[in-house]
Structure 1
Amino acid sequence: MALSDFFRINLPYGIHRNSNNEWSAFNREYMPLGWNETNIIDTTGITESGTDKPIYTKYSKLTEKKLLEIAGSVNMVNYDSEGKIYRVFLYDDGSVPSRKNQSKKDWDSYFEKIKMLSGLIVIEK
């Protein structure tokens, strides 16, 4: 699936946990979104040297229960070999909010998940 529009490129398809229990948002092609370090930004924008920076962040109170609440369904999560959630999807092929003729319900569901993610608090390093 090609990155063919603003939604697929710039809005989260899901979040993914790394081995340090840190999380990162990714787009429809599983490419990372966002930056979490301000030292890579100068007055003209993101510098070239910033492209190798990690984008993972630790959040407080991000429990398995909260992850399932965000996902909305056990079918919208992936589990690792230890049975812990390592990936949460915000929509699936049947509920892509930006798809032509998609229902308002799919947009509402997507934005409710974004609201829940927006409320997460960073654990300072």
Structure 2
Amino acid sequence: MALNDFRAVFLPYCLQKQPDGRYVVLNRRYKPLGFNTREHIEYEDYPICVKLKGISSATAEKLSWNCDSNTDIIYLYNDGCFPTKSPEDMKNYLKRLEILAKLKVDS
């Protein structure tokens, strides 16, 4: 996967729950959004984990590209339906981002 693909670096690919219950929003390379590297990243070394209010099985199902209710890792798209593949895939991705954007961050 190219590191020069804006989507793969800057758009959310998945939400991954951490052992403490907080989430990290990751890009397609499983790096925090905006991290453009092939190097291994220790998430706890950066202030990137957030507690999201409203992540339930029902919310995960709405956010997931395949309606998976798993709250441990929520994939917003996969290689078969990535947002820039087609207008329909982008439309579906943007619907999921709309739901994600309405969640509150617990401080």
Confirm or deny a common fold (TM above 0.5): yes
Q: Deviations over 1:58-102 (max 9, x none)?
A: 12221111111110424x57x5xxxxx31111111111122xxx3
The residue type paired with residue 95 of structure 1 is: C
Aligned residues: 97
Structure 2 partner of 1:93: 79
TM-score, with normalisation over the residues of structure 1? 0.69
Q: In structure 2, the residue corresponding to 1:54 is in which secondary structure?
A: coil
Equivalent of residue 63 in structure 2, options 53, 66, 70: 70
Structure 2 unaligned spans of 5+:
35-44
Is 1:118 the equivalent of 2:101? Answer: yes
Residues 96 and 72 from structure 1, CA distance in 2 versus in 1: closer, same or farther, beyond 3 angstroms? closer
- Deviation of 1:115 after TM superposition, in Å, equals 0.8
Structure 2 matches for 1:35-114, cutoff 5 A? 52-74=45-67, 85-98=71-84, 102-114=85-97
Q: In structure 2, the residue corresponding to 1:16 is in which secondary structure?
A: strand
TM-score, with normalisation over the residues of structure 2? 0.79
RMSD: 1.8
Say if 2:82 and 2:89, in contact at 8 Å, map to a contact too: yes
The residue type paired with residue 94 of structure 2 is: F
Distance, in Å, in 2 between the alignment partners of 1:63 and 1:111 is 20
The residue type paired with residue 19 of structure 1 is: P
The residue type paired with residue 97 of structure 1 is: P
Distance, in Å, in 2 between the alignment partners of 1:94 and 1:53 is 31
Bigger radius of gyration: 1
Identity %: 30
